Amino acid sequence: MSKKNIFTNPYRDGDEDHLYFTDEKMLKHFASSLAMVEKYFRYTMVGFNNFPPKKGFMIVANHGFMPFDMALLIRQIYLKTGRRVRMLMHSRTWRLPVLREVFLNMGAVDATPENAVRLLKRGEIVAVFPGGEREGLRSSAHKYKLLWEGRTGFAKTAIAAGVPVVPCMSVGIDDIFYILDQPMKISKKLFHRYLPFPFFVGLGGLPFPRKITTHIGVPIQPPKSSKMVTRFHQQVWASSQKMLQEGVKKRRWFE
């Protein structure tokens, strides 16, 4: 079922918790429209065969300021396997007319643990950024550092659904813009209220054409007990951070 027309099939409260909205034509258009973006960033992947072929799993990724890498990874998964990656969207998304219908057609759902578990138990792929907005808006002085402290939601969800977690760490995504520290004279409260995005520098209005490579790790199986959340969180974080650091070291200087 699609939700593609805002006049004949407009958004209604609760649609964001519906798991069955999709529009294959839109998905194919999305995949083809990203071809030029993929060339711009010379996008590559390492370890694609690590993805479980059929069952549900969770992707955890590092959060760049503008996560083109996730869109390109989703595109490649769709082209190579025909499987959709379900994104969890912030509640603010459903206040945006037109865009919310687009996101629903793309398979997005409200970012709740309940929705994530339901999708994963159905054998779907769910992608999350454990670092969230905090990681996505950090300055370039702290690039390639995973700010996952206290972010145990993904671990709880994976354990509840009984699915593996696959770390997908992108090298290059933190270099497509230079993110400045916020001005010292502006308080954090005022900064986040009136200027919620950091100051950044790119190639004019475009990102720098840095090469982006997504390193796909080996699936990490969750423990059976919910009492192991903290240990599982640390295991996934440590594996992801190590993979990210190794990817940065292996990158050639001119990329």
Cα atoms found within 13 Å of the Cα of residue 18, Cβ hemisphere only: 19
The mean per-residue pLDDT over the stretch 34-46 comes to 97
Amino acid at 125: I
pLDDT 10s digits, 200-226: 899 988 999 999 999 999 999 999 998
- Distance between CA atoms of 213 and 38, rounded to whole angstroms? 11
The two tokens of residue 179 are: 């993110």
| List of residues 6+ apart from 30 with CB closer than 8 A | 75, 106
> By CB neighbour count within 10 A (0-12 exposed, 13-18 middle, 19+ buried), where does 124 fall?
buried
**Residue 190: per-residue pLDDT:** 52
Q: Give me Rg for the CA atoms of the chain.
A: 18
pLDDT at 185 over 80: no
| SS3 state of residue 243 | helix
**Average pLDDT score over the chain:** 90
Q: How confident is the model at residue 52 (pLDDT cuts 50, 70, 90)?
A: very high
Q: What six digits make up the tokens of 100?
A: 């919310």
169 burial level (CB within 10 Å; 0-12, 13-18, 19+): buried
Distance CA 222, CA 219 (A): 9
176 and 41 in contact (C-beta within 8 Å)? yes
**Secondary structure element (H or E) that encloses residue 232, with its range:** helix 229-250
Give the Cα separation of 82 and 84 in Å (integer). 7
Pairing of strands 125-128, 200-201: unpaired
Q: Name every residue whose Cβ is closer than 8 Å to that of residue 90 and which is 6 or more positions away in sequence.
A: 111
Please determine, for residue 197, whether its predicted confidence score (pLDDT) is greater than 70.
no
Q: Which one is predicted more confidently, 57 or 101?
A: 57
